[in-house]
A and B are shown apart, each in its own frame.
Chain A
Amino acid sequence: MKQLTILFKKDIFLFWRDTSSWIAGLAFGVISIILYALAIDIFILEIQLILPGLMWVTFLFCGILITSNSFENELNEGFIDGLRIMNVPMVFIAISKILVNFIFIFSTEMVLIFISVLFFNIEIKSYTMLIPISFITLGFVSLLTCLSPISYKAPTGTIITYIFGIPLLIPLILAATKITYSLFGITVLENHWLLLGILFSFWQIIMSVILFQFIINE
């Protein structure tokens, strides 16, 4: 566990120092929300009906931007091989990166939700919904993080992440959208969406960590 803590400290420190990926993700999200606000006439269209869906598509692409280069530096100079020689379990490397990406992507989501509240004149009615939203974020961040070495290793780059990642995330995004309706008090949440979101996130986390070991060894 000590090795995991040291890895996590290093990853979070470097993520903060190397500002390029999280600033790119945050800037993309903020610009998207501002564009929606400018492009959609809220007097003609009831924005509440489409906003949660738009937000989750934005979160997804923010996530791809932030996670796509997660292992670029580690794979470039054989850093992961250095850890392998020291018998550091590959699971630790995956968990550390997932946690760091989760912290930054969830923070980005919170900023974007706050901006949406300002721009679209809506209110957060049920703060408890942020708990399942955080868990769903952890689910999709796990998958995107563990697929990111493919985008480094494959000649087609980041496109591979889109092709593999997005179809696997559809049920999660659907559930997340329904939960976000409830966050803003637009509709009452039906329990099966909550269950789908939580179960699917759990499955994504487990599957991603297992999958990572095969991807990194290829």
Chain B
Amino acid sequence: MYKSFSGQNVLRDINFNIQSNEKLALIGSNGSGKTTLLKIISGILQPSSGTVFYDNINIHIPSSKKPSIGAAFNESMLDERMTVMENLQFYQSMISGDNDSTEISLLLKTFNIKNLNNVLIKNLSKGMKQRAVLIRALLNQENQSLLLLDEPSNNLDIDAKEILLKNVLQNTKKTIIAATHDIQNINRWATSVIELKNGRAILTNLKN
């Protein structure tokens, strides 16, 4: 797969497979194309050439049956004019069609922001907002098959980083692709690593 912006190649000859429940860490310096790659996998961006297949389904064909994806990117994808709870309930009902807030309450408790559920997103600190972003990405866990995270530990304090590591990255039984600069902790959760350098990918299997 290739991706270029205004004639400049951001991703070149990217070609890799990942297995179900595999946990892949994307590393690389700033501007190496990690976010672009995640956005292409999520379907937000179209590749310039090539495609992404999920269970042999081309996810870039509009009519295709796409997998249920959870994503936490640099943009919060939350509406700043709504409270934490309103945002999460909106997403919950859009995904599953019901208003059951059991899962939301559980996640709010896990990430220690239950007391902030009635606060507007625009009034949250960066760290608290990042927690809300992660909760949004984790909604509908039962049916979710792929989790895409772009520097998920950004703005988080040490406690929240541990929560992320233990409750999401280590113990979640689903495929995870996460871009990260937190190299020290990769061994604690990732099964393989892709390093992006000048838009090209170098794959390392940590199990070997």
* A positions within 8 Å CB-CB of B: 2-3, 6-7, 10, 14, 17-18, 73-74, 76-79, 81-88
Contacts and interface: CB of A to CB of B under 8 A. Distances in A.
Contacts of B44: 81, 84-85
Contact of A78 (B76, B94, B97): B76
Contacts of B71: 82, 85
Most buried by A among B42, B73, B78, B90: B90
A81 B95 contact: no
Contact of A14 (B39, B43, B66, B79): B79
Contacts of A87: 66
B48 to A, nearest CB: 15
A191 B10 CA distance: 58
B75 interface: yes
B43 A85 contact: yes
Given A85-B42, A85-B44, A85-B69, A77 B94 contact: no
B81 A77 contact: no
Interface string B73-95: 10111111110000000110111
Contact of A77 (B75, B91, B97): B75
Given A17-B81, A76-B80, A81-B44, A88 B73 contact: no
B81 A73 contact: yes
A74 B81 CA distance: 10
Given A83-B94, A86-B95, A87-B66, A14 B77 contact: no
Contact of A79 (B42, B43, B78, B95): B78
A69 to B, nearest CB: 12
A218 to B, nearest CB: 12
22 contacts: A3-B94, A6-B90, A6-B93, A10-B82, A14-B81, A14-B82, A17-B81, A73-B79, A73-B80, A76-B80, A77-B76, A77-B77, A78-B73, A78-B76, A78-B77, A81-B44, A82-B71, A82-B77, A82-B78, A82-B91, A83-B94, A85-B42
A76 B81 CA distance: 12
Contacts of A6: 90, 93-94
